[in-house]
Amino acid sequence: MAADAAALTALEARERLRAGTLTAGGYADALLARIGRSEPAVQAWAALDAAHVRTQAAALDALPPEARGAPLFGLPVGLKDIVDTADLPTENGTVLHTGRQPRRDAVLVQRLRAAGAVVMGKTVTTELATYAPGKTRNPHDTAHTPGGSSSGSAAAVAAGHVPLAVGTQTNGSVIRPASFCGVVGVKPTFGRIARTGVLVQSPNFDHVGVFARSVPDAALLAQVLAGADAGDPATALRATPPLLDACLQPPPAPPRLGWFPGPFRDRVAADARAAFERLRERLAPHLVAFELPADAHAVVADHRLVMEAEIAGSFDAEYERGREHLSASLRGQIERGRQTSAVAHRQALARLAAYADALDAALAQVDAVLTPAALGTAPAGLASTGDPLMCTLWTAAGTPAVSLPLLAGADGLPLGVQLVAARDDDARLLRTARWLMDTLRPGGVAPVDPAAAAA
C-alpha cells in the first residue's frame, strides 16, 4: 500500500482520501518513506519535520467525514523556501537568513491550510531565488542540475516526494525546472496568485507557480491558490476561473497551436531542435504559423534592466550588511541594478507594457503557442541551473505558460514542451495542455526513484 500510495497523482489520492480507503496519515507515511529512500540523492528539502507532518495529517484524520470534501484534503504540498510559514523556517536560500522564522503564513499558505492540505516542508531554492544553485540534484540523473530557482519543488514532485509543490518565476524559475525534471509546471497569468508573504525579488515580474505530475493536478492547486489579496497590488478582485473543471473538458473544436521555433532557435540544442521537428510533424494538422510582435527582440534586454534594478532595491539590506556572503552572480546583478536610472526603468516598463498588449493580440488567434521550455535538457554539473532564455518573452509579458514533459533529448533526459496563451486565458491553456498530454503521453508521468536506479 505504501509504494502504491506514493505513486498516486493528487486527484487519485484525493479520491481515495474522500472515500476513506486512504487516510491522511497513511498517505503522509508513504511519502515520508519515499523521501527517506531518495532524499540523500536528490536533496530537495530545505526543512522537513516528519513528526510535524504526521501531526498535521492526524489532525485531518480526526475531523468529521464531511471535512474530506475540502479541495486538498490530506494532500501534502511542498513549498519553495521563499514562502513564509509560521510553523517552519523560511531562509530564502541564503546564509544571511539562516534561522529566519516568520510569525505568520503567506496568504497562499493560508489558502492551502484552509483547503485541507498538509504542508510537507520547505523545498530548496537558489540563493534569494536568483541564479546561484542550491544543493538539489535532478532525480533523473543526479549529476545534472534540476534547474532553478524552484529547484527543490520540481525535484520533489519528480521524485514522488509530494504530488504537488509551489514555486515562483521571475524569469524561468518554474518552467525551466519543470522541463529539466520531467514534470508539469504552470506559471499562471501575472497577478493570478497573491504573493503576500513571498520573498519580493522583482515586483513587476514575480509570479507564483505550481508543479505536479499531471495537468489536472496542477489546475487543482492553481485554482485553490488563485485570488486577490490587499497585500499584493498585482492582484485584482475578480472571479477565479474554474481551472480544474475547464481543464477536464474536451476542447470544443480541434485546438489551433501556434508553431513558434522562436527568435533564439540557433541557441537551442541540436537534439532539442530535432525532437521538436518530430513533434511538428506529428501535430501538423493542428499547427498554424505564429509571429511575435515586431519589438520582441528588445524584450530580453528590457526584462533584464527592470529585473536587476528591482533586485537591487529588494536586496539592498543584504548587500549592505553581508555582500561578502552573496554569490558573485547576485552581487553583479545588484551592482548593475544600482546603476539603472529611474527614467530608464520607467521607459523599459512602458516598452514592455506595449509589447504585452501586442502579444495578447497575437495570441488571441490561437489556443496556445507551442515552443521549447528550455534550450535543451538539464546541463551536466551543479554549478549552474541553466539558461532561462526560452521563458523570458512570456514572463516579461505576464502571460500564462505551461511546461509539459513530452519529449526527451539524446541523453534520455526530459525536454519540456512549453505552451503559452494570452493573459487571463489560463483556463483554456490548461484545457489545451491536458488535451496535448492525453494525445501524446496518455500514460502520464510516473515518479522517478533515483535510489532504486542506483540499487
Q: Which residues are tagged catalytic?
A: 80, 149, 173
Round to whole Å and give the CA distance between 339 and 413: 40
The 3-class secondary structure across 233-248, one letter per residue, is CCCCCCCCCCHHHHHH
CA quadruple 233, 127, 84, 36: dihedral, nearest 10: 140
Closest CA to 256 of 417, 397, 429: 429
- Using alpha carbons, select from 163, 167, 183 the residue that is nearest to residue 122: 167
What nine digits make up the cell of 52? Answer: 510535524
Residue 15 identity: E
Residue identified by cell 509551489 is 166
HSE value, Cβ hemisphere, 13 Å, CA-based, for 319: 17
Distance, in Å, from the CA atom of 368 to the CA atom of 402, rounded to the nearest integer, reads 10
Query: Under a CB-based contact definition with an 8 Å cutoff, are residues 395 and 303 in contact?
Result: yes
- The total number of residues shown for the chain amounts to 455
HEC string of 261-281 equals CCCCHHHCCHHHHHHHHHHHH
- C-beta atoms surrounding 7 within 10 Å: 17
Q: What is the rounded distance in angstroms from the CA atom of residue 110 to the CA atom of residue 196?
A: 11
Q: What is the DSSP string of 361-423?
A: HHHTTSSEEEEESSSSSPPBSSS-----HHHHHHHTTT--EEEEEEEE-TTS-EEEEEEE--T
Q: Are strands 118-123 and 76-80 parallel, antiparallel or unpaired?
A: parallel
